[in-house]
Amino acid sequence: MTAQAALKAALRDIVGPVARTAGFKGSGSTWRLTNSRGDWAVVNVQSSSSSTSRSVRCVINLAVAPAPWLDWMRESLGSLPKSINESLGLYRARLHPNGTPAGRDWWWEISSERDARAAAADMVVQLADHGWPALTRLLDRQALLDSIRAGDLGHMKSGRFDVFFPRAEALLIAEDGPSTRLDELLDRATTNAIPAQKANAEKFAAWVRSRAAQAS
């Protein structure tokens, strides 16, 4: 059995049933959960492009993509894939093997069926502790907004993304209509945008204000 086949079987037999118990649907290496507002949570087990038939490295990607963000992605990209993938998340994070030091990007390493089943068992633990609960919580718009205001969007922290966070908050609160706070956020994001991104920032601000007007 190749390492890829061993991982596929372990995900099917060990992780998949737990994902379904948590309310997520899917198969293979990706599971999704959506709410009544069209927001999505995604769990994906990514294999390294350098993997071979004898050895596979993999990691868990997590994402939350609220409907307003997906609408903006569609506006920006022209279209979206049929199935929402983790790369489209507004919130994106990773889960690593047990024992990974903070700030390190360690991956599970699989070269046998035993390795694959041990890795899948550890994935179940990491998802139970840090995956399913976090994603389910962030499918609540207020919880996601609180996380944005706390400067936490998984990989992205507010201290390093002083344009992205005002835009993210503006996008969510625009669903409640125009407000002074919305104007402040959009003005901040547009003012702080680098010259190469100024046109995009202005387009985003106009698009969000239009949505807010329609919501009022």
Domain stops at, among 142, 173, 202 = 142
Total residues belonging to the chain: 216
Q: Are 73 and 87 in contact (CB under 8 A)?
A: no
Residue 113 located in a structural domain: yes
Residue 188: what pLDDT? 95
Q: What is the pLDDT of residue 120?
A: 98
CA distance 141 to 39: 9
Task: Say which DSSP state 154 is in.
Answer: B
* pTM across the whole model: 0.94
Q: What is the C-alpha separation between 212 and 216, in angstroms, rounded?
A: 6
Helices (H), the chain: 3-10, 16-21, 67-77, 113-126, 132-138, 141-149, 164-173, 180-192, 198-215
Nearest to 113 by CA among 103, 121, 105: 121
What are the residues facing 157 on neighbouring strands?
Answer: 152
pLDDT at 216: 74
Residues of the chain under the 70 pLDDT cut: none
For 188, the domain range is 162-215
pLDDT on residue 160:
76
Report the alpha-carbon distance of residue 133 to residue 183 in Å, rounded.
33
List for the chain the helix, strand, coil content (%; round to 5): 55, 20, 25
Among 138, 170, 136, residue whose Cα is nearest residue 154 = 138
Phi and psi torsions of 118, nearest 5°: -65, -40
94 and 10 share one domain: yes
Which of 96, 113, 142 terminates a domain? The answer is 142
Whether 90 and 40 share a structural domain: yes
In terms of domains, do 191 and 133 share one? no
